[in-house]
Structures are given as C-alpha cells and as structure tokens.
Amino acid sequence: MFIKKEYKILMVGLDAPGKTTILYKLKLGDIVTTIPTIGFNVETISLHSRNYTLWDVGGPDKIRALWRHYYEGIDATIFVIDANDVQRLEEAIFEWKRLAYAVELANVPSLIFANKQDLPGALPPEEIESMMGITARYGRFMHVQGSIATQGVGLAEGFAWLNSALDALGK
C-alpha cells in the first residue's frame, strides 16, 4: 500500500499578492472570489503523490507579527509577491527576509511566487531573485518562480521545485 507523504506549508506575503487565489486554484482548479484574509485559510491538496496542508495566512501589516505563531512543524514556506506592485516590492522583500532568517525555519525550503506575471509592469522572476539576494544565501533551498495564479501558470513548476527541495533535505 502506497502512503502519500504529508507536508505542512506556510504561505504568506503582503496583502493582495494572490495567496488565496493560489490556494484555491490548486485546491479547486478554479479561481474564486476572494476578500482580504484577516486570519487564515487552510486546505489540503494532493500534488505529485504528496499531500500538502497549506496555511494561507493573511498579509495586512497588523497580522504579519502573528506569522511566527505558525512556524512550528512547518516543512516549507511559500512567499507570494505581487511582481506588478513595484511600489511595495521593498516591503515584500523585507518581510520575506524576516521569514527566511527566522531561526525556527533555518532548514526549511522557501518557494517564492513572483505572481501576476501577466500584467504589463510585472518584474521578471530573475530580477526579483536578484533584488532578494537569494544567490548570496548559502545552505538554504530558495527559488523564485514566476506565476499567474488566475491561470494556474507556474504553480505546478513551483511545486515540482518544492518536491525536489524537500527530497534533497530528506523530508
């Protein structure tokens, strides 16, 4: 009997980059009308012969201090960036670094979705990766994946990378 591996994933980001859209596109295969998340949504999805319990935690500034309460038992993080919102990119990178440098998440892979790639002002994933300084981080598994959550573009590729990272870490 084949037993699927189970993973707990924390998905965060500023408000409105598309976290909840990603969650329900993966869960339902469709887009749903969303409102700002003032707390969290949690769903289990099956991808690549694995079960992922995704914790989509709200991103308004007053809620971000609560993210750390979700760190325990996390196998990976997903940080969603609105690649079209260049005015808030510095803020997003700051919040991602707080997450990436958290001691509790020291050996946890971090997948970053550079979302909304279909919009004309969206920065490409390579540029965001450079701005985040990911190439300068040693000993951690980090990856920026371009995505268009409303169309599902880039989501499977991001999770394929995440699977490889989890396998490499023996999780």
Enumerate the known binding-site residues: 13-20, 37, 59, 115-118
Q: Which residues does 112 contact at the CB level (< 8 Å), separation at least 6?
A: 78, 79, 80, 81, 96, 128, 129, 132, 142, 143, 144, 145
Is the pTM above the cut of 0.85?
yes
Provide the CATH number for the domain around residue 53.
3.40.50.300
In a domain, 155, yes or no: yes
Residue 52 lies in a domain: yes
What's the confidence (pLDDT) of residue 137? 55
Annotated binding-site ranges for GTP: 13-20, 59, 115-118
Residue 154 tokens, joined: 């880039």
Annotated binding site for Mg(2+): 20, 37
The three-point CA angle 49-9-148 to 5° equals 80
Proportion of the chain above pLDDT 70, given as a percent: 92
Record the tokens describing residue 6, joined without a space.
Answer: 């189970």
> Is the distance from CB of 149 to CB of 23 less than 8 angstroms?
no
Q: Is residue 30 part of a domain?
A: no
* pLDDT number for residue 144: 96
The DSSP bridge partners found for residue 55 are: 10, 42
**Residues near 131 by beta carbon (within 8 Å), at least 6 away in sequence:** 89, 93, 123
Three-state SS string over 81-128 comes to EECCCHHHHHHHHHHHHHHHCCHHHCCCCEEEEEECCCCCCCCCHHHH
Q: Are 88 and 82 in contact (CB under 8 A)?
A: yes
| Overall number of domains in the chain | 1
**pLDDT score recorded for residue 2:** 62
34-43 pLDDT per residue, tens? 766 767 889 9
The length of the chain in residues reads 171
Domain of residue 47 covers 5-25+35-168
Residue 61 lies in a domain: yes
Structure confidence at residue 15 (pLDDT): 92
In a domain, 65, yes or no: yes
Low pLDDT (below 50) residues in the chain? 139
